[in-house]
């Protein structure tokens, strides 16, 4: 399975009206620029400075979570995102980023729960349906995973990843014809996807031996 590791985390930017460089909004913007430049440690220091003065300045809290994720401090990022979500339960950006971290940590049930919240808040979020399907797969709910992938595809998601993942789900359910069809779709989008080519070859050979 693949897909979630390539998702770019979203940064929250507030409009800048004040001239004072120490204004929380200005410092938040400064931290974002530093993070964009690749200096995540410095960005964390800047966001932390904002939070020392206002522990509930959510943009800085959210952006510090991103910087911490970039620094592979996933536990620190989770703490920050938990605080954001506690204040803004309908923040799909925070829920999405927390779900990705849960997924990367192998905490698929928790990731699944966050993706469910996102799809309830925004039923048209096709990425959330795709990644929810990935969690279903790792929870061994193959038919439900297949259904989530199909929902994402029906909404217009057209990537080698989603077709490959749906093929794997079909493969696990013994639906070989469907799996071959989706492996082929994945290869039409990405002809270099060797894992799809190999899986299709194995299934095709198996069918010819029946």
Alpha-carbon 177 to chain mean position: 29
206 pLDDT more than 90: no
Q: Considering its fold, how many domains does the chain have in total?
A: 1
How far apart, in whole angstroms, are the C-alpha atoms of residue 52 and residue 199? 53
C-beta separation of 33 from 27 below 8 A: no
Sequence-separated (6 or more) residues with CB below 8 Å from residue 16: 25, 26, 29
Residue 5 pLDDT level (bands cut at 50, 70, 90): very low
Tell me whether residue 31 is in a domain: yes
Is 155 within the bounds of a domain?
A: no
Reply yes or no on whether the pLDDT at 9 is more than 80: no
Would 24 be classed as within a structural domain?
yes
In the prediction, which pLDDT does 24 show? 87
Domain range for 72: 1-105
Question: What is the per-residue pLDDT for 144?
Answer: 98
Under the banding of pLDDT at 50, 70 and 90, the label for residue 1 is low
Stretch among 58-62, 163-167, 204-208 having the lowest mean pLDDT = 204-208
Record the tokens describing residue 188, joined without a space: 């039409």
Residue 17: per-residue pLDDT: 42
**Do the domain assignments include residue 38?**
yes
For residue range 126-153, list pLDDT tens digits in order.
999 999 999 999 999 999 999 999 999 9
- Is the pLDDT at 113 greater than 70, yes or no? yes
Choose among 77, 106, 108, 82: nearest CA to 95.
82
CATH number at residue 19: 1.25.40.10
Residue 206 falls within a domain, yes or no? no
Place 13 in a pLDDT band, splitting at 50, 70 and 90. Answer: very low
pLDDT at 121: 97
* Domain-embedded: residue 118: no
Average pLDDT over residues 50-57: 92
| CA angle, residues 4, 87, 65, in degrees to nearest 5 | 40
122 three-class SS = coil
Residue 148 lies in a domain: no
Q: If you average pLDDT over residues 63-84, what whole number do you get?
A: 96
Q: Are 111 and 3 in contact (CB under 8 A)?
A: no
CB under 8 Å to 44, separation ≥6 — which residues? 64, 67, 68, 71
Average pLDDT over residues 15-35: 75
Q: What is the average pLDDT value for the chain, to the nearest integer?
A: 90
Question: Is the residue at 61 inside a domain?
Answer: yes
């Amino acid at each position: 399975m693949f897909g979630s590791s390539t998702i770019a985390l979203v940064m929250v930017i507030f409009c800048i009206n004040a001239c004072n460089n120490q204004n929380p909004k200005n410092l938040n913007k400064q931290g974002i620029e530093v993070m964009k430049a690749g200096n995540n440690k410095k960005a964390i220091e800047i966001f932390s400075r904002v939070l020392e003065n206002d522990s509930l300045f959510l943009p800085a809290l959210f952006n510090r979570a991103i910087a911490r994720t970039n620094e592979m401090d996933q536990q620190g990022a989770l703490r920050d995102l938990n605080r954001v979500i506690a204040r803004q339960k309908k923040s799909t950006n925070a829920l999405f980023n927390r779900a990705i971290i849960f997924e990367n940590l192998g905490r698929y049930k928790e990731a699944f729960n966050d993706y469910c919240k996102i799809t309830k808040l925004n039923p048209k979020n096709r990425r959330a349906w795709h990644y929810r399907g990935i969690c279903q797969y790792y929870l061994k709910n193959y038919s439900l995973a297949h259904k989530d992938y199909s929902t994402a595809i029906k909404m217009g998601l057209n990537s080698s990843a989603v077709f490959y993942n749906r093929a794997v789900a079909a493969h696990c359910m013994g639906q070989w014809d469907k799996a071959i069809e989706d492996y082929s779709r994945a290869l039409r989008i990405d002809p270099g996807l060797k894992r799809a080519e190999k899986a299709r070859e194995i299934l095709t050979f198996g069918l010819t031996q029946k």
